[in-house]
Structure formats: C-alpha cells, structure tokens
Amino acid sequence: MAMDSSVKKNIDLTQIEQICKEHQGRKGDLLVVLQKIQTLCGYVPKAVLPVVTQRLGATSSEIYGVLTFYNRFHLSPRGKHTIRACRGTACHFNGSLEILEKMREHLHMGPKQDTTANTLFSIEEVACLGACGIAPVITVDEEVFGKLEPENAVEIISRYEEAEKGKEG
C-alpha cells in the first residue's frame, strides 16, 4: 500500500467522515480504516478518534491499542520522506547498523528521534524488506536502494535534500 507520508497541516475531517462512513458499524474494518486515514494524513491524528469511534463502534482504547501494536502506524506527523532502513539478518551481517548510524548522524538525529527537525525525513528501522540479495538495503518512500555503503546512503539522502532545496528556490 503506497503510504505517502507527506505532512498535511490541516486535517480534513469531512474526508475522514467519508472514509468512516464506508465502513459504518463495522468494527472489524478498524485496521483498514486506520490505514486509509494514515495514507490520507501521513499519520493518525488524535482529532480523528471521535469520528472513528462513532462510526465504527470501536472504543478509544481499542483504537489506541491497535495503533500502538502495529509498527506501521504513527501518532505524530511524519517527515515528508520516509527512509526505511532494513535491519534484517543479511543486512545486519553486511553492516546495516553503520548505515543507519551514518544517516542519523548526517541528519543530526538523536537515537530516539524518528523525524528530523525540519520535518523533511523520518527514519524507520524495518525488520526485513525481503531484498536480502542486494543487502544492505534502504528505501526512501517507495524507491529501493541496495548494495549500499554508509557513504552511498548519505549521498542518496543528500540528493533528496538538494531536490527539496531546488523546489524552495
């Protein structure tokens, strides 16, 4: 599922209403609804909870339980680009930890911080992207980059940074 993690400052509750309406009264569709909301907003904002509760009949605690159980859900706004660093076995044995650390260092991110201060990037550690043949691997949004050295990973991020600067200028 394409999860465009662009940040939407204003949450459009009418669109959220629309999504929930399609699943009216079907608590079992909770994951699907939350995935759709995340695709729309880039994260699941607290403001949507009353709508979801009312339409689907799930309690706030049930919704919160689901949101915190699954790694893919986010409760705060994400960076414009999502970097997923694979931390699977093949990548680990090929130095994925160093790549992750180099990227964090380049982006001035602390160990627990997942989004950069300028909200351009979010970094996620992923258990395995299943592309072990070209380990170590990262993805930026939906693009896959393999056979990396720490320097390449930094270069890739720099390219995105340059592109963003270009847009501003």
Partner 1 sequence: MRERVSRFGKEQGMLNFTIEDLRKTRDRARLRSTLKEDGYRARINVHTGTCGVGSGAMKILDTVTEEVNRQNLKNIEVATSGCAGLCSREPMITAEALGLPPVKYIDLTPEKTRQIIQEHFLQGKIVEKFALGEIPFFKLQVPRVLRNRGAIDPENIEDYIAQDGYEALYKILTQMTPEQIIEEVRLSGLRGRGGAGFPTAEKWEEGRKYKRFPKYVICNGDEGDPGAFMDRSVLEADPHAVLEGMAICAKAIDSHEGYLYVRAEYPLAIKRLNLAIERAKKLGVLGKNIFGTGFDFDVWVYPGAGAFVCGESTALMYSLEGKRGMPRIKPPRSVEAGLWGQPTVLNNVETFANIPQIILKGGAWYSSLGTEKSKGTKVFSLAGAINNIGLVEVPMGISLRSIVFDIAGGIKGGKKFKAAQLGGPSGGFVPESLLDTPVDYESLEATGAIMGSGGVVICDQSTCMVDAAKFFTNFCVEESCGKCVPCRVGLQVLLKKLEDLVEGKGEEGDIEFLKSLGEHIVKSSHCGLGQSAANPVLSTIRHFREEFEEHIRDKHCRSLQCTALIRFQVIEEKCKQCGLCLKACPSGAITWEKKQPARINLEKCTKCKSCIKACKFWAIE
Q: Summarize as ranges the residues that interact with partner 1 (CB under 8 A).
A: 1-3, 22-23, 26-32, 34-35, 58, 62, 65-66, 69-73, 84, 87-93, 98, 126-135, 137, 142, 144-147
Q: How far is the CB of 59 from partner 1 (least distance, A)?
A: 12
Q: How far is the CB of 41 from partner 1 (least distance, A)?
A: 15
Q: How far apart are CA 81 and CA 4, in angstroms?
A: 8
DSSP-derived letter for residue 136 is S
Q: How far is the CB of 113 from partner 1 (least distance, A)?
A: 18
* 147 contacts: CB under 8 Å, gap ≥ 6: 134, 135, 136
- Comparing CB distances to partner 1, the nearer of 117 and 144 is 144
- Comparing CB distances to partner 1, the nearer of 45 and 136 is 136
